[in-house]
Structure formats: structure tokens, C-alpha cells
A = this chain, B = another copy of it.
Amino acid sequence: MATPTLEDVARLAGVSRATVSRVVNGTRNVDPDLQETVRNAIEQTGYTPNHAARSLVTRRTGTVALVISGAGGGSDVFVDPFFGRVTAGVVDFLRTRGVHPVLMLADTDRTRVDVVEFLRQGSADGALLVTTHAAESLPERLLAAGVPTVLYARPGRPMPVSYVDLDHQAGGRLAAARLVELGCTSVGAISGPLDVLASQDRLTGFRDAMARNGFPYVPVAEGGFTAASGHAAMGRLLVEHPEVDGVFAANDLMAQGAVDVLLEHGLRVPQDVAVVGFDDSAPALACRPQLTTVRQPVEAMAAKMAEVLITSLEDPEQRPISVIFEPELVIRASA
């Protein structure tokens, strides 16, 4: 048996297609008795509205694209707990609005084109773009295609697009203040990739605050936001500055790697070297000692991002919005 259509329900209920549509969508007034009849007919036929047909006329799909633009490496972005947290936040908000996210990875030019195509086809109503690299071209492409878009993180070049972001510099300052407070005399930093705005900002904030506290120079080793890269970066730092007694790592994964190296070298954390991480994600708690870290409320930020998109979908005339979140220092054992 073919799936029942509006027509079938209408015939069974003895009304017009329009009336059934009104009952289903709750638009306009429909006589209560008639409504009852229609509902029965729906029940009896097991009718479900066809999404494609509806979508064709309303020009709405009820889905949004959640685009994750890990620069380098395919689907292994998911090993970073960051993306899981973003996903969680987005899903958490969208589900309250009956909207569903379709997950897309944009890591090559080909896939970036796919994303734009996808949106232009009207397969989704808008895009949530989580990108790290400042040079990412998707924001402008999406903008050019007229796709409602919200970014996680400010765009590399100024453009009229909504975004949510963290005050990364403030986060860097928080970390510096903690190390200074602990009386560290020789501090170093493990930064994220420097083509990522957030990395630059965290470092800038950290350096500025250190400078204001009498540390004009801070040695920096660049990492790649992975535990292994943090491990390597800490190793380099240690070779050049064996006297280091305070380290700021630009995310928890790298902090974890750094702690490992320190321990391997027989140094105690935090007694010999204090370590401050960034993000406050799962590794911060799993790490021994547990990490003192700068909290980024990823879930809340992601949820906000979804919220901004939904509102701008409802009112297309709305101007771009930006929401900046404040980081927070979470003191645990490592610093």
C-alpha cells in the first residue's frame, strides 16, 4: 500500500485538502467538530506529511548544516573533545526547536564546494560553521551564496556575519595572573597553531599580562592542539629553558602532553612547574594532576550559535549579531 497523502485523508474525512492542511498545521480556525473528524481520518490512515512536498512550497527544511572545518585531517577532528562539546551544545538547543543538524566536514576544497552546493540546493536552511583557521574561505562563500550563517569564532577578515566567540585574550590574561600569583619566575607558553585566531589571541593576552607583571619576554613553542604536539612543544621549551617553573598551554590536550614530559623529566607538577591549560574539557579532569585551566563554555557558546541562527532564520532582515563569552579560571591541582 502506498503511503497515505493529504488527499486520502481529505477524502476519508469528507473535506478538502486545504482543511486537512489547516488542521495539521494549526493555521487559521477550523471548526472543532471538523477538526475531530479530520484527526480521526489521520489516525485511521496513518498519515504523515511528506517532508519534501512541504519543503518545496514552504522553502524550509527544518534542518541546518553543522559544518566542521578541521583544516588538515578529515574525520579525526572528532578525537578532539572540543567538537563533541560543540555538537552537544548545538543539538541541545536545536532539539528544543524541532530542528535537526546535518553534519558536514569541510577539509578540502572539494568538500567546501559540496557544503555550499548543499546549502544552495536548499537542503538546509542555514549553516553553523565551526572553523579554526583564519584563512578559511567558507564564510565568504556562504555569505556570497546568501546562506544564513553563524560562525563559532570571529571571521578571519571582517565581514557582515553573525558569530559567537570567547574573549581569548582575557583567557590568556587569566592564565598569566595565576602563574604570577603562584610566584613563578620563569614562564613559557605552548601556543596553538598560529594561523588560528584564537591561538594568537590567547597568546597575546598571556604575553600582555606577563609583560605588565615584569616579564617582557615569554618563550613560546607552537603546538597543534593535540597531546602529542604539546608533548613535543614542552620538550623543546625544556631544552631551551630548563629553569622554567610555569607553563601556559593553549588547550588541555597540549597541557596534558606537557605534564607528561615534565613528569618524565622528574619534575613535579605543580611544585616544580605549574601548568595552566585552556578549555576545561575532559582531559583536564582525566589528567594527573588535574589541570588548572581556563574554562571555555563551549556547550553554551554552541547553543548560542544555534540560537542566533534560528532567530536570524525567523527574521532574515536582522543585522549580524556577535556574542562574546567570558572565560573563567578553574583552579585544580596543576597550578
Please list the residues of chain A having a beta carbon within 8 angstroms of any beta carbon in chain B: 3, 48-53, 55-56, 59, 61-63, 66, 74-79, 81, 83-85, 87-89, 91-92, 95, 98, 100-105, 111, 114, 117-118, 120-123, 227, 256, 260, 263, 282-283, 285-288, 299
Name A's interface SS: helix
22 A-B interface contacts by CB (under 8 A): A49-B121, A51-B123, A52-B55, A52-B59, A52-B122, A55-B55, A56-B56, A63-B123, A66-B103, A74-B92, A75-B87, A75-B89, A76-B88, A78-B84, A78-B85, A79-B81, A79-B85, A83-B84, A87-B87, A100-B104, A100-B123, A101-B103
Between A52, A76, A103, A285, the greatest number of chain B beta carbons within 10 A of the residue's beta carbon is seen for: A52
**A52 and B48 form a contact (CB under 8 A):** no
A109 shortest CB reach to chain B, Å:
14
5 A-B pairs with the lowest CB-CB distances in the bound complex, closest first: A78-B84, A52-B55, A75-B88, A51-B121, A52-B56
**B79 and A91 form a contact (CB under 8 A):** no
A300 shortest CB reach to chain B, Å:
12
Question: Contacts A78-B85, A95-B111; is A260 near B282 (CB within 8 Å)?
Answer: no
With A78-B84, A79-B282, A100-B123 given, can you name 18 additional A-B contacts, CB distance below 8 Å? A48-B121, A51-B61, A52-B56, A52-B61, A52-B122, A74-B92, A75-B89, A75-B91, A84-B84, A87-B87, A91-B105, A95-B105, A100-B104, A102-B102, A227-B285, A286-B286, A286-B287, A288-B288
**A122 and B51 form a contact (CB under 8 A):** yes
**A48 and B120 form a contact (CB under 8 A):** yes
Q: Taking CB as reference atom, which chain B residue is nearest A257?
A: B286
Selected from B48, B55, B78, B285, the residue in CB contact (under 8 A) with A88 is B78
A84→B78 CA distance, assembly (Å): 5
**B104 and A102 form a contact (CB under 8 A):** no
Question: Contacts A105-B91, A286-B256; is A100 near B118 (CB within 8 Å)?
Answer: yes
A62→B63 CA distance, assembly (Å): 14
A84: B residues at CB distance < 8 A: 78-79, 81, 83-84
Q: Taking CB as reference atom, which chain B residue is nearest A118?
A: B100
Between A87, A103, A285, the greatest number of chain B beta carbons within 10 A of the residue's beta carbon is seen for: A103
